[in-house]
Amino acid sequence: MDLCSLQTIKPLLKNNNIFPSKKFGQNFLIDQGIIEKIIVSADLNKQDTILEIGPGLGCLTQALAKKSKKVIAIEKDGQMVKILKENLGDFGNVEIIEQDILKFPIPNPKISNKYKVVANLPYNIALPVIRKFIEANNPPQLMVLMIQKEVAQKICGQKSSLPKIAVCLFSKPETLFFVPKELFFPAPKVDGAVIKISEIQKNTPKIDAQLFFKIVKAGFAHPRKTILNNLSAELNISKEKTAKWLEKTNIACLKRPEAINLQEWINLVDGFDF
């Protein structure tokens, strides 16, 4: 069954009395070519264990199962789980789990020490999901994800942003290609993007992560204000002391947070002695 075809999806939903849920971010991909590009990007082989998030009707799941050893599909919507089990019954290497991915524990006995995450993510949980896995005690080897284009640009763009810094501390993200919103049913309001996250925890500095994110969040509290004003106000440190801290780390007081790179944020944490 062609689960990426609009001619298949519409009657399948109608016959099961299902309406795509905005709450679950259900927008089904209807272009087989995009599925094939995602599969190629994930560099799959018959030894791979794949964790898929939000499989929906199983379009991507079907393709993953043909190229890998095992697919573990985590789906929150019970109605979708029922359809998935019917659609993918012929695949002996697919396990479907009804659960909220944000509550799915990692490490997990369901997955091996080596696994990849490949998913068309619900746009509203993209960043929490990414951070969950790249910061996990047992992170994936690789992540290939469809996410909102705007979020991809923040994570992978030239300018610093809180999402970019949060992801780059633990991994290397890159945008692979964009996906027009017209290639989904129903069409979302925004275009999508497929990103690859690699080198997960390969070059993560030894740093107090809690302090790091406290400082970075303070620095980005008001993106259009200077780093001096943000850090001083949000951390309740006098401007004089904050200026000396910035001077010690060779960061200009009038810089805006978007102009401060990852290494400079790390230097700020290393230089924090308040």
* pLDDT tens for each residue of 159-205: 999 999 999 999 999 999 999 999 999 889 999 999 999 999 999 99
Q: What is the pLDDT of residue 255?
A: 96
**What pLDDT score does 162 carry?**
95
Q: What is the mean pLDDT of residues 10-37?
A: 85
Question: pLDDT tens across 235-250, in order?
Answer: 999 999 999 999 999 9
Residue-range domains of the chain with CATH: 6-198 (3.40.50.150), 209-270 (1.10.8.100)
| 17 confidence band (pLDDT: 50, 70, 90) | confident
Whether the pLDDT of residue 259 is over 80: the answer is yes
Q: What is the pTM of this model?
A: 0.92
Whether 142 shows a pLDDT value over 70: the answer reads yes
Query: What pLDDT score was predicted for residue 1?
Result: 66
Work out the average pLDDT over 1-18: 80
Average pLDDT value for residue range 213-218? 97
Q: Give the pLDDT mean for 3-16.
A: 81
Give the pLDDT of residue 4: 77
Residue 151 has pLDDT above 70, yes or no: yes
Q: Which tokens belong to 170? A: 């633990």
Is the pLDDT assigned to residue 49 strictly greater than 80? yes
More confident of the two residues 225 and 87: 225
